[in-house]
Structure 1
Amino acid sequence: MNSPTAQVAFDELLTADTLSALMRSTWTWDDRALRRDLAILLVDLDAVRAAAPDQNTAQVDTLRARAHASAARFVAAVLGPKLVADTGNPLRPSFLAEAVDPARFERAAATSFADARKAASEYVTEHTRELDYPAETEWLGLVASDGAKGLSRAMRGYGNSSSASPFFGSIGLAWQTLRAVIGDSTIADEYAEGLLSGRLSATLAAAEQTGSWDPAMVKTRVTETAEGWQITGIKQFVPATEGADVYLVIARSTAGPSLFAVPSSAPGLSVTHLDVIDPTRQLAQLELSSTPATLLGTEGAGGRLMLRAIDLATTALAAEQVGVIEKAMSLLARRSADLTDAPTSETRVAEVTLDHVAAAALWRRALAEDAAGSAGSSAAAAAAHVGCSAAAVRAATAAAELLGPSDETDAILRRALSGSLLFGGPALSHERLLERLGI
C-alpha cells in the first residue's frame, strides 16, 4: 500500500464528492463534528495538491502522509459499524484497506518528518533571507497597477509588519467590494477611484451581532423615503473606522440585502470603538438611526455581493497570514541562539515550516483561481481562509512558546488570532467551505 501507485489511487478517492457521498451512505452527512473534520481534511488535501506541482520535499511528503492518515481515520469514523462488518455499504470496499490501517500513513509521515526536521533551519533561513516586502507607501500603487495580485503582495507585507494601517479595511474590504458591485456601478466606481488615489478612506460594515457574513443574518433595515434611503440598525466588528470618510453598509430593504454608502458625517450615525485583543486591528460598532444613505448597484443584490466580497477579503487575508508565518520564521531564525531544549525546538520549528508550505500553497491557489475566473474560486478562497488561519495561529504560537514573551511575539500572535476569527471563526468558516463545495 505504501507504493506510489497505491498512494495515488487512494488520493484519487479523497474528493469532496466521494467523501460526502460516503457520509450520506451512512446517514452521517449532518453530523456537525464529522462535517468539521471533513472540512479540515479537504483543506489539508488541497494544500498538498496545490504545493505538490512545485515541490517534492520532505515537507510536502509529510503533509501528504498526515492528510492520508487523517483520511483513513475519517473514513473509519464515518463507516462506524459498517467498517467492522460488511452489511452492503457500496463504498466500503474502496476504503477498507486504508481505514483499517492508518498506521501505515503515520509511519510514512514520521519518516518524512524526520527529514523535514533536519532541514528545518535551512528552510527557515532560505524562506526569510531574501523576502522583499513592499513599503507601506507602495501599497496603493501596487493595487492600482496590479489589482488583486498587487493587493496580495501588499497584504503579505501588511501581515509581516503587523501594520496598524487601515489598508485592509479600506482596500482589502471596501475597495474590493466596490469593484464587485452588481448593477449600475457608476457611483461605486467613483468611490473606488477615490480610494486608490488616496483621496478617500472607507471601510465595510457587513457583520452584525453573530459576526457572520451570511446574508440571511442581516437585520439592519433600510427604507426609501421622500428624502431618499435611510438606514436603521447596528453593525459590529467594523475595521478601520478611524479617519474613514465613507462607510459601506449592507442593509436589508424589501428587495433583500443591499449595499449603501454612508458618509462619516451623516446624521444619526455613531461609532463606538470596541475593546479588542489586537491593538493593530481596531474594530468598532456602528449605530445608525434613520441615517441617510446612497444605494450602490442594484437593490437586493447585496446577498450575492456579500458572498463575493468575503471570497475576495479572505484571499487578501490569506496573504496577510502568510506574512505573519514568515514573521514567526524570521524571529525564530534571528533568535535561534535563544532557543532552549534543542530537540523540542527543532521539532516545533519543523512544524512551522509545514505550516508555511501549506498556507503559501493555499493562498497562491486561491489567488490564481480568482484571477482565472474559475468556478472553484469561491471554494479555493474558503479553503485558504480555513488553512491559513489555523497555520498562522500555530506558527505564531510556536514562536511565542519557543522565544518567550516579547513585544514581537505578542504582536504576531494577536494578529494571527484576530485574523483567524475576524469573519466568524472556525465554526462558520468550515461550514462556509462545505457550502461552497455544495456539501
Structure 2
Amino acid sequence: MNSPTAQIAFDELLTSDTLSALMRSTWTWDDRALRRDLAILLVDIDAARSASSDEDPTAVDTLRARAHSSAARFVAAVLGPKLIADTGNQLRPHFLNEAIDPARFDRAAAASFADVRAHASQYVADQTRELDYPAESTWMNLVAQDGVQGLGAAMRGYGNALSASPFYGNIGLAWQTLRAVIGDRTAADDYADRIANGSIKGALAVAEQTGSWDPAMVKTRATNVENGWQITGIKQFVPAAEGADVYFVIARSTAGPSLFAVDGSAPGVTVTPLEVADPSRPLAQIEFSDAPATLLGTEGAGGRLMLRVIDLATTALAAEQVGLIEKAMSMLVAHSKDLVDAPALESRLAGVALDHVAAAALWRRALAEDAAGSPDASTAAAAAHVGCSAAAVRAATAAAELLGPDEATEALLLRALSGSLLFGGPALSHERLLERLGL
C-alpha cells in the first residue's frame, strides 16, 4: 500500500488545473466521455476533501480512497499508450506509480468500506433519530429570519417531506432571483418583499425547449413598445407556475437577456400544465404572446443574472436532495427487520451512508462559500449539484430496490430523478462545472 507521504503527493496532483493539463497534453481534451469523467472525479475529490473526518473518519477514508482509485484509472485512460511507454509526456512521471497500480487504492477502499459497513446501521439510525426538520408552516419564517441559511434548512425539510408545495419555485427560484437582480433593484425588492410576506406567489420562467439555462439559448423576445415592454415566446419546465400571481421571465431584448415581470392574469399569457413523471414536482409551459411586462434591473444583465441564479437554485436543490437521502435512510431503518439478507442490507446501507456524508459535505461547502463571498462559490454550487443529484438518485434507488415496489419508494425515486434532471441533467451539469472551473 502507498505510504501516507505518497498518498498526499498524489492527492495534491488531483486538481482541475493539473488534470486538464494532462488531458491537453494527450489531445483528449475534447473527448466528451473523458470530460464527463473529469467532472465526476473532481466532485468525488471535492466531497472527500470537504467531508469532516470528525463526523465519520472511516467514511471519509473510503471516499478518499475511492476518489484516488477513480483518479488512477482516469489518468491511465487519458495517457493511453503513453502510460506503458515513455514517449516524452512531461506529466507522465508524476502519475506513473499510481496509474499503473490502481489496485492499491482499491485495497484501501475495501478495507475502510468494511469498517463503514460494520457500523452503517448505527450511522443511519443515529442520523435519522437526531434529525429535526422544521414544520412547513415555519419555512417562510426561516427564510425571513436567516435568509439563504434558513432557506437551506427549509429545503432540507421540503425534500424529506416530499412536499408538493410551490415553496421551491416561489422562494428557491423566484425570491432568490429577485434578490440577485443587477442594477436598479427598487421594483425587484418590492416583489421580493411581497413574496416573503406571503402576499403574492411568484414563478421563475427561464428554460425553453432544451431545458438549458445557457443565456445563448434564450429565444423568448422582449420588445420595447410605447407603453413599456411586451414578451413573446414559450417557456417550459416552469415550477410553481399554476396559480402564480407574477411570472419572472428571462427574455431577450436588443441589449441581450433581461429579466421581466409579467402579471399572472395579463392578456397574452397561457399556462399549460405539462404531463410529468413526478406529480410532487408539477411543471408547466407558459406561452407569452405580446404579454405586457415590466423590466427589472438593468436591460441586458439577464445573462449574468442567470449564472448567479443557477448557483443559488442548485444549492437550494442540494439541500432538498440531502433531505431525500435522509428520507431513504429513515425508510431503510423503519423496515430493516423485514429484510432477510443482512449482508446485502449492510452493504447497501453503507453505500447510502457514504452518499449522505458526501452530499452533506458538498451542500455545506456550497453554502459556506456563498456566505463568505468566496470566488469559489460558483464552482462549489456546481459541484454540489452534480454530487448531490447523483447521491440522491442512488440512495432512492437503494430504498426502492430493497423495500419496493410500493408507492412510498416510487415517490422517493421519482422525486430524486426529477431533481437531478430539472436543470438540464448530467449532460449540462457536468459541463457547467467545468465551465465554472475555467475548463
TM-score range, shorter chain: over 0.9
Q: Does residue 178 of the first structure (1) align with residue 169 of the second (2)?
A: no
SS in 2 for 1:261: strand
How far apart are the structure 2 equivalents of 1:401 and 1:201? Answer: 38
SS in 2 for 1:374: coil
Residue 356 of structure 1: CA displacement? 0.2
Residue 341 of structure 1: CA displacement? 1.6
How far apart are the structure 2 equivalents of 1:243 and 1:408? Answer: 27
Other-structure match for 2:21: 21
1:391-406 equivalent positions in 2, closer than 5 A: 391-406=391-406
SS in 2 for 1:370: helix
Other-structure match for 1:379: 379
Give deviations 1:301-331, integer Å, cap 9, x for gaps.
Answer: 0000000000000000000000000000001
SS in 2 for 1:188: helix
Give the conservation status (yes or no) of the 8 Å contact 1:156–1:320: yes
Q: Does residue 390 of the first structure (1) align with residue 390 of the second (2)?
A: yes
How many residues in Structure 1 have an aligned counterpart in Structure 2?
Answer: 439
Residue 56 of structure 1: CA displacement? 5.1
Q: Does residue 311 of the first structure (1) align with residue 305 of the second (2)?
A: no
SS in 1 for 2:113: helix
Q: Percent identity?
A: 77
TM-score by length of 1: 0.99
Other-structure match for 1:45: 45
Residue 146 of structure 1: CA displacement? 0.3
SS in 1 for 2:235: strand
How far apart are the structure 2 equivalents of 1:22 and 1:52? Answer: 30
How far apart are the structure 1 equivalents of 2:199 and 2:256? Answer: 31
Q: Does residue 368 of the first structure (1) align with residue 364 of the second (2)?
A: no
Q: Does residue 124 of the first structure (1) align with residue 124 of the second (2)?
A: yes
Residue 134 of structure 2 aligns with an amino acid whose one-letter code is: P
Q: Does residue 255 of the first structure (1) align with residue 255 of the second (2)?
A: yes
SS in 2 for 1:287: strand
Give the conservation status (yes or no) of the 8 Å contact 2:242–2:273: no
Give the conservation status (yes or no) of the 8 Å contact 2:51–2:60: yes
TM-score by length of 2: 0.99
Give the conservation status (yes or no) of the 8 Å contact 1:40–1:430: yes
How far apart are the structure 2 equivalents of 1:428 and 1:32? Answer: 12
How far apart are the structure 2 equivalents of 1:35 and 1:340? Answer: 41
Residue 181 of structure 1 aligns with an amino acid whose one-letter code is: V
Residue 2 of structure 1: CA displacement? 2.1
Other-structure match for 2:235: 235
How far apart are the structure 2 equivalents of 1:174 and 1:144? Answer: 15
SS in 1 for 2:229: strand
How far apart are the structure 1 equivalents of 2:399 and 2:431? Answer: 30
How far apart are the structure 1 equivalents of 2:168 and 2:245? Answer: 15
Other-structure match for 1:93: 93
Moved more, 46-55 or 110-119: 46-55
CA RMSD of aligned residues (A): 0.8
Give deviations 1:268-318, integer Å, cap 9, x for gaps.
Answer: 010000000111110000000001000000000000000000000000000
Give deviations 1:47-72, integer Å, cap 9, x for gaps.
Answer: 00000454452111111111000000
Other-structure match for 2:299: 299
Stretches of 4+ moved more than 2 A in 1? 52-56
Give the conservation status (yes or no) of the 8 Å contact 1:331–1:399: yes
Give the conservation status (yes or no) of the 8 Å contact 1:149–1:367: yes
Moved more, 284-293 or 334-343: 334-343
Other-structure match for 1:143: 143
Q: Give unmatched runs, 5+ long, in structure 2.
A: none
1:325-344 equivalent positions in 2, closer than 5 A: 325-344=325-344
Give the conservation status (yes or no) of the 8 Å contact 1:340–1:402: no
Moved more, 45-54 or 320-329: 45-54
Give the conservation status (yes or no) of the 8 Å contact 2:396–2:412: yes
Residue 319 of structure 1 aligns with an amino acid whose one-letter code is: A
1:278-293 equivalent positions in 2, closer than 5 A: 278-293=278-293
Other-structure match for 2:79: 79
Give the conservation status (yes or no) of the 8 Å contact 2:53–2:60: no
